[in-house]
Chains A and B, each alone.
Chain A
């Protein structure tokens, strides 16, 4: 916890702007931050329910990544009253003072990265939360500084100096839903388990009973946050080539992609079909793409999701859960540099129905042969009911989907169409990005670091997410996909999620179309005797084993070629995720394993959360099956959750728990006809 004794320190008083150091080789100081409290909404009888949590302690762990030295502090409030809470700068000042004394730092740092696991919880324990909350950004239910950092004057016992404080949340720098304990395991710094008889809800009892163990427990959390942040930033810098400190994995992906585009000798704006105006500002679409931009966005849909059967899988047949390997990153990797000057409207199906020759989009009138089991052209339903695949209709679709439909014998008539050719033999910049991600993943897997593997995977998937961010808002004809609304913590208003630095509607629509086409092509090739349970974005549940999935189709061959370029040693495009003896399909994204003693049972709960905790996944699957059998119209699922960020922010509330009663909606959704 301490950095050891050193000679007296020369504290440098700094007068210039703290961000001036941003380009220096010296890395920012990382401070892990954590707080412990007693939840105001606990259900024990000893304390009256209240809206304010009772803060027990703050712990900060300072890590100097330039030297590897570190130190920590454990701070307790003088009383349970809100006025006794500490200011952020006071706490940072205290840990910096200790670091200066201990030789961990030789001067007051000008750049600090404040890392916590779920910053929303920890920042709200501070006295100046009211001031801080409008100076940080709300990102995915938590806080981080994605735009401007916080500027604070750090008070130490050796003087005061200004510093920029970037807030990062380790939840945003790790795979989604990662627990702090998992990060600790990956770091070889296991989170301390609470002794028997104590619970998270009543940490005050633990503090009173065993103060030393409490301090060890609390300090470990702050250490994990600091060390995980340092580790991710190091990997991002050294292996992914991103020098800027990124607050989220999505930001890492954007930086990586920009870097790859530039490394290929291309201009980022030109690659995306944009150019900067004479007066500068945000790059805008090229003049010849006006209108076409929105046309492509109209063909942007999510993945194919539907329940093809309902109820139990056939007896005595094995069920395979198959996935398209790295579906979105592979699809992205097929993109070359577009020749934007060739963007043109056409209704010629021969020009539009293509997989790799160009990016094509169309509004087609279609009809599949009546006996078609799995049609492949999407039609968007109303009321957030997703994509439906009917026998006939009109579809905003992409070239690869048209290719699959024609192969199924469908008759197509293009009412409108758009084609953009590639520049011949131009580089596939996303392929280099995917290859780099795969290299990090391979090294992580080799070292047995599953969390890092998942983190790298998330960066890869975020690449696609960032290309598609805000595309729904570009649609001229509003449909079922609405632009995502987010809470802007700085303006304290709701707003549409805007475009990212690399949003490109044509590439986003083409990528999603490729994945849907690959899945539909494999489904269409299935024999009539094969059972098909559900289709979920980039995979499906079936009686067909992975080695018998058809890969002779045009889209499958394009995927095989892409996989061969990315991972020559393993060009397989389908992989088996689970194998089951029996499953029950409830609805889209609702499947439960009914295999007794399944090691890794399938459990997709259709967006529901079960009450209580389960020792194993198999136990949870059984409980979910019991719910399905016993439910009636009034069945509700009582779940405990956290107060929403918006609610907490606007009410300046502590992070408290709230109980929700959601109706169990587990009826077949009729995406296909019974």
Chain B
């Protein structure tokens, strides 16, 4: 539609909507963006800002969190799942979780925030398969998560993303970029000097039957239950899990979903 600025004003052609629902969503989005950011749609920059904001807003809606939240919606979702010890994650003390999340997010996560995350927003079950886009606020968190706990990416994050969505493609891209960065620093022991990063992965995920039975109760198909078994096997690698992951030829997020479905 070639949106461009002419004499400082947004100028573009338009196409028809495919269906009335698309229009309603776009118009609701415009109103929400205007109200929330106290902005007007005057230039291409405004239009782009609105688009980015709406992507984030969708994710916040999926997480049941507020748009003004400093944590990204996916990050909030992970914090909630970890705080409740759901989807096979072992529940750890709030202070410990807050400390780990602070490092992963780059934003101070207090024990109050952990406590609030536990009681606010949607349940983990409601969030499964609902995230359609990954916002900017979540990308840094996901990159760190991928570097440190790739299994969590697979067993928690992937299950939150909507099948066939833009979010899966974004995650693929993010993983590829991270792999390329990893290659560049192939021989650097970039995690050595950070004692906090090497906490055991099993402190987040556990293969115990009790924990899995809790999460299996939320799984809606046998494939997912099997997936949990595989994951619990992977979890037994403990802290070396990330070290033995070979970044080259790493399956993409979409591949994983396809293979998981096939399994």
Contact = CB atoms under 8 A, between A and B. Distances in A.
Interface of A: 307-312, 368, 372-375, 379, 381-382, 385, 388-393, 584, 628-629, 631-635, 666-674
Contacts of B30: 667, 669-670
B12 A381 contact: no
Contacts of B20: 379, 381, 388, 390, 393
A634 B14 contact: no
A311 B38 contact: no
Contact of A668 (B8, B16, B19, B41): B41
Contacts of B42: 628-629, 631, 667
Contact of B11 (A311, A381, A672): A311
Contacts of B40: 631-633, 635, 666-667
A561 B30 CA distance: 44
Q: Which 10 A-B pairs have the closest CB atoms?
A: A311-B11, A672-B14, A633-B38, A667-B41, A390-B17, A379-B20, A312-B6, A670-B26, A673-B15, A388-B23
Q: Select the residue from B1, B10, B14, B38 with max chain A CB neighbours within 10 A.
A: B14
Contacts of B13: 308-309
Given A374-B16, A674-B14, A311 B22 contact: no
A673 B9 contact: no
Interface in B1-59: 1, 3, 6-20, 22-24, 26-27, 30, 34, 38-42, 47
A309 B11 CA distance: 8
Contact of B10 (A310, A391, A634): A310
A674 B14 CA distance: 5
Contact of B26 (A308, A368, A392, A673): A673
Nearest to A311: B11
A602 B97 CA distance: 63
17 contacts: A307-B14, A309-B12, A309-B14, A372-B16, A381-B23, A388-B17, A391-B19, A628-B9, A631-B40, A631-B42, A633-B40, A634-B38, A672-B16, A673-B14, A673-B16, A673-B22, A674-B14
B32 to A, nearest CB: 13
B8 A391 contact: no
Contact of A392 (B10, B18, B38): B18
B17 A311 contact: no
B10 A670 contact: no
A389 B14 CA distance: 12
A389 B23 CA distance: 10
A634 B6 CA distance: 23
Nearest to A306: B14
A639 to B, nearest CB: 19
Interface residues of B, number: 30
Contacts of B7: 312
B41 A390 contact: no
Q: Most chain-B CB neighbours within 10 Å: which of A374, A385, A389, A672?
A: A672
B3 A674 contact: yes
B114 to A, nearest CB: 35
B26 A390 contact: no
A674 B44 CA distance: 11
A101 B40 CA distance: 68
Contact of B27 (A374, A385, A391, A634): A385
B12 A310 contact: yes
B234 to A, nearest CB: 44
B218 to A, nearest CB: 35
B9 A389 contact: no
Given A392-B19, A672-B14, 18 more contacts: A308-B14, A309-B14, A312-B7, A372-B16, A373-B16, A381-B27, A382-B24, A385-B27, A390-B16, A390-B18, A629-B8, A629-B9, A629-B42, A633-B38, A667-B42, A672-B17, A673-B17, A673-B26
A391 B16 contact: yes
Contacts of B19: 390-393
Contacts of A673: 1, 14-17, 22-23, 26
B37 to A, nearest CB: 8
A327 B1 CA distance: 32
A672 B41 contact: no
| Of B8, B12, B38, most A-chain CB atoms within 10 Å | B12
A314 to B, nearest CB: 10
Nearest to B37: A633
A263 to B, nearest CB: 45
A97 B47 CA distance: 71
B27 A670 contact: yes
Contact of A391 (B6, B17, B26, B41): B17
A186 B100 CA distance: 83
A409 to B, nearest CB: 14
A667 B10 CA distance: 10
A622 B39 CA distance: 23
Contacts of B34: 633, 667
A388 B14 CA distance: 13
Contacts of A668: 10, 41
Nearest to A634: B38
Nearest to B11: A311
Contacts of B22: 390, 673
A523 to B, nearest CB: 11
Contacts of A672: 14-17
Contacts of A375: 16
The winner among B38, B41, B47 for most chain A CB atoms within 10 A is: B41
A397 to B, nearest CB: 14
A504 B208 CA distance: 74
Contacts of B23: 381, 385, 388, 390, 670-671, 673
A392 B12 CA distance: 23
Nearest to A387: B20
A312 B16 contact: no
A670 B12 CA distance: 12
Contact of A674 (B6, B9, B12, B39): B12
B97 to A, nearest CB: 39
B24 A312 contact: no
A635 B42 CA distance: 13
Contact of A310 (B11, B18, B24): B11
Contacts of A392: 18-19
Interface in B202-248: none
A594 to B, nearest CB: 9
A40 B42 CA distance: 40
Given A390-B22, A672-B16, A633 B39 contact: yes
B36 to A, nearest CB: 10
B16 to A, nearest CB: 5
Nearest to B27: A670
Nearest to A390: B17
A291 B40 CA distance: 46
Contacts of B38: 633-634
A379 B17 CA distance: 11
Nearest to A310: B12
A310 B6 CA distance: 11
Nearest to A531: B13
Contacts of A666: 40
A670 B3 CA distance: 13
Max count, chain B CB within 10 A of own CB: residue among A375, A633, A666: A633
Given A374-B16, A668-B41, A673-B1, A381 B9 contact: no
A43 to B, nearest CB: 31
B47 A674 contact: yes
